[in-house]
Structure formats: structure tokens, C-alpha cells
A and B are shown apart, each in its own frame.
Chain A
């Protein structure tokens, strides 16, 4: 059980608890000499109790003002999931349908279908850490890895807006990899690359990417949204066409296979196939993942106020029972030699 306060600055008032030793709420009675009054243990104890009650009252009220609570600790738990970066193609062609047309009526663009299915996917994986990156001409870090699902959904929601120009997959992958911690074999990193076009990665960048994959260790899922009539990942080349420039998708696929990482490619030609591919990713990426959970908090402010009532009641009772000491005639007689003579 952990205890804490929300307004710790209120605790600067705590030194006020010494006040009962400096001042008293009770009436002062002037006594000629303290030696006149015999030592009285009961009175001494009463004095201690009243001072303690005063200190307790002040201390508890100050504590209550600082809003104390119990619990609220974050605990680490092990669930199933992974650290997953969604790397989304935001080039203009993603806004067309799988048939390569501008969506009309009830038709769904590639970006909208992906968005809808990714939202379901995220909802099914409560313990994953999600990050979102986008790429067109330049890579864009949309959201760093986070467990705030609302923010991830808001980022995915924005992914079917009007896209930009080109498809620069290599720089996008570099960006996605940089979002993971390097050299952490205990974490499971996954990149889900969603794109509708291949791109030629120049040999120099190929080597850089290979090194980055070795450093950050990430599984790669390539969800290729194939538009009707365009080239696919698994096409066999016609004679004389087997070059990266003529068939960028095929060469991208071949390059990914040489990375030496777990790599899966899915070629989807309809929203149904996208759904099937995402379902497979969901099934494959189930690893132990440490996630944090915040335990519920219990507010103790009310208890502190209630507890403060008890010593206040004691103080009040003491105040009401205060006796008025007026010197008794015998005492006066003792003190006045003339009276003694008279007696």
C-alpha cells in the first residue's frame, strides 16, 4: 500500500503542530508562585493530552488539506503483445479504391479500409505499445510508442486524409526503426508496413537499413495493398523486365527477405484480404510484454477530516470544563500575615 499527497506544498504548514507547546487556548490564571501549588501528576498528564490533541488537530487538518490518498501506484504486469509501429503510406494513391478509382458512393478507399481495420486491430490488443509513423516524400513521426490507445486511434483516424506525393519506403522504415530502443532483446519489436506501392531503395540506403534492422531487431510485416492492374509482390518477371525499376514491388520483397529478420508479406487486393492479413498479424505477434497498470486510488481526505474531529472535540470539552480558580479564603488567610493575626 502506498500513500501520497496531491498538494505536497500544503505540508509546509506542518510545523504549526508545535503551536500547542508555545501557546494555549485556555485561560491563564495568575498564581503568585508556582511553588505554592503542589505537584499534580493528573494535571501534568491532562496538560500533555491537551497539547497532543492540539497538535493532532492541526496536523490532521493540514494533512487533509494536502489531499492524501492511498494506492494509485503503477505496477508492472506481464501480458501478451508487442511493441508495434504502424508505418502508414500517406501517398496520394492511398486515397483511391482497390480498383484504382476515386471512391464513389459506398466504395471505400484503400486508406479508409486500412483505417477501419487497424482500429479494430488496436482495440483487440490492449497491452501493446503502439507507435505511428507515416511516409510519403519524407518520413513523419506521428506518435511515439505509447500505451494511450485514444491517442493511437486519433492518429489512425487521421490516416485517410488527403495524402501527399511520393512513396519513400526506405526513409519511412528508418524512422520506424528509430522509434524502438536499440539493443533490447527483452522487447519484441514489430513494424507493420502498409503501402500500396513499391519503391526502389538505392544500394547505399539498403546497407544502412540492414544495419538499423540488426541494431533494433524488429519483425517486419509488409501489407501490400495491390491496386487492380498494377504489379504485385509475387509476380514472376517477363523476360527483360527483371530490374528494380521495372518491378519495384518484387525487388522490395526480395530485399526484405535478405534482411535476416522474421518477415511476412501479405498482398491484399480487397478489404477482406486486408482483414485476413491483419488477423494473421494479430495471431502471430503474441509475446510476453511488460505493461504498466495504475492501481485505483483511495481518497483519504474525508478520513483525515473525520479523524481531526476527535481531538477537536477533546479540546472543546476541555475548554468548556475550564474551572475558574479564585483564591479560597483559607489560602488568602495563609498568604496574608495581617489576616493570620486577625484570625
Chain B
């Protein structure tokens, strides 16, 4: 055996030599490793945004200033766009009166992010075509629309029916519960807040007062307890003679009502906070739509190679000071 070979043999036993050899092998692996085919779960969702008057209520606080529910909803949606796994598809519709109005069918949000984000920014309460909001009918219509588009549903609303539901109850869901998955997102605070009022040209002119709105819906049959109401008369005053009073001019998120609607239709319910919460709730409720993709895994051997080189330079000391070991042991005993 020549002295050179003996030298190399002896040096090869050094752990730092092994670390460098490992680094070299890992780097070669990083060069040749192919992209791995993976399936990613995207979502395909139709987002319906309630743009009726009560969505202008400013009962969210952002940076110390009150902001409207619609502003928060738009901000959360924009944030959601960037959080959705690629490839995900999102369509947008507006809700006012009793039907959702489809702006565009679901498009790929990663590729067309700018266009979709621009459309979300452009959502405005002034686009509302009528002042009423028959929310239950809107949700049922939206479910049908989402089914037609083969997508899940996110319906953002505060749940305030205008006019109030008839005393005989609201409409019932005719479809199959759970056929469309998704979320009803309740927008608004839990305390009552005044609803801004606007003139014909869209300028704000104060708030809705108690006498401006209908507090009770006298459509349909009177409630069973109508006879006990003051001034009741079967023919002339079947709902009683008193002018109904209430808090319909104020608004809060009608969570129990929205939860009931969600239960009836097989959707999940979430409160509107921000994009992160919305994304989490949506991924939990949505149908996973696996799509084929390619994953670049070269960073794994690359990172290991870096660690090996650093180890060769002794960045991770082989012997730790005694105090450190005592600390680790103590930390291990920690309950």
C-alpha cells in the first residue's frame, strides 16, 4: 500500500470528510432529481356578496376607525384570493333583492389574480338593483347557481331580511341539503348598530330611523297569538291595532338565523373576520378538487447539503458546554 492511499484512507475516517462527501452526493442528487408529480387540492367556489343597504353598517373596527361590513368583506375576499391553493377557481356574484347576479363564472385565481382582485375591489353597494333583501331566497338561488356552475358556495351576508320575514315563517328550501357544499359567512358585529342612509345620488345623509323602516311583515296569515294582541279584530285588524315597533332600523349579524339557514341547506357557517379565517373555514367546508401538479423538491437535498457543509465547518459543535446539556435535561423534565 502506497503512503498516499494510506493517507486517504486515514483521512476518510474523519467525520468532517464524511460530511463533505455527503454534501457532494446531496448536491449531485439536487441536480438530477426530477420534478415529482403531486396532486393538490384546489377549490372551485362561487362567492356571492350581499350588497344591500345594511352591509354599509360600520360595525367593524380597522386601525381604530370604523369600517363597513362590505369593506371588510372585500378586504377578506382579496386576502382569500392570495391564500387559495393553486389551482383554485373563483366566480363572483352580487346579491340584492332576491336573486344572485353572476358577474363572472369561476376563473383560475392564480393565473388571473389581477383581474379577479380588480373585480372584487369594484364591488359597490351602488350596484344594488333594489333595496329589498330576501336573504333566504337569495341563498337558495345561489345554491342553485353554484350547482349549475359545479362549484361550492360562499355567501357573505349579515342576515338582515328586509322587509322582515312574514310572521308565518320564511320560505323553505326545496333542494337537497348538502348537494352544494360551502359556507354562509355572517358579516357584522354582535351589537346593534345604525345603518347609514343615502340619498338618490349616493351621498350619505345620516342613519335610518325607527320610523323609516318596516318592523313587521303583514304579508300572509297573522300569527297564532294575534288574538291576544291589543286592538285585535279578525277582519279589520288581524295583526292587532298597534303600530309595530322594533329594532329593524338597527343592524347586527343575525347569527342564529344564518346558522338555521346553513343547517337547512347543508352549508357550514362562519363569522366574517379576515381573509385568514375565511380561507380556513372555506378549505374545511369546500369539496377538495384534486389537480395534478409538479412539485420541485430540489430544496430538500439542497438544504441537507448546506447543513452537511456547515457541519464540516464545525458550525454544529460535537461537544456542547456542560451548562447547555444541563439546560436540555431540565427542559426535558418540564411537564
Contact = CB atoms under 8 A, between A and B. Distances in A.
Nearest to B3: A323
Contacts of A161: 102
A148 interface: yes
A151 interface: yes
A143 B119 contact: yes
Contacts of B105: 154-155, 157-158
B31 A148 contact: no
B326 interface: no
Interface string A315-340: 11001111110000000000000000
A23 B111 contact: no
A305 B313 contact: no
Contacts of B104: 132, 142-143, 151, 154-155, 157-158
A64 B296 CA distance: 12
B255 to A, nearest CB: 29
Interface stretch (A104-112, A133-141, A180-188, A246-254): A133-141
A141 B115 contact: no
A144 B313 contact: no
A107 B236 CA distance: 51
Interface string B32-69: 00000000000000000000000000000000000000
B224 to A, nearest CB: 36
B116 A305 contact: no
Contacts, number: 165
Interface in A1-29: 13, 16, 19-20, 23-27
B30 interface: yes
B3 to A, nearest CB: 10
Interface string B124-166: 1011111000000000000000000000000000000000000
B320 interface: no
B102 to A, nearest CB: 4
Contact of A321 (B11, B112, B114, B303): B11
Nearest to B91: A154
A61 interface: yes
A235 interface: no
Interface string A92-119: 0000000000000000000000000000
Interface stretch (A31-39, A216-224, A283-291, A306-314): A306-314
Nearest 10 A-B pairs (CB), nearest first?
Answer: A151-B115, A155-B104, A144-B118, A146-B115, A141-B122, A137-B129, A148-B115, A305-B30, A154-B104, A158-B102
Given A19-B315, A61-B302, 20 more contacts: A19-B310, A23-B313, A57-B309, A61-B309, A64-B30, A65-B299, A65-B306, A134-B103, A142-B104, A143-B115, A144-B118, A146-B118, A150-B108, A150-B112, A158-B105, A305-B30, A305-B302, A315-B312, A319-B17, A322-B14
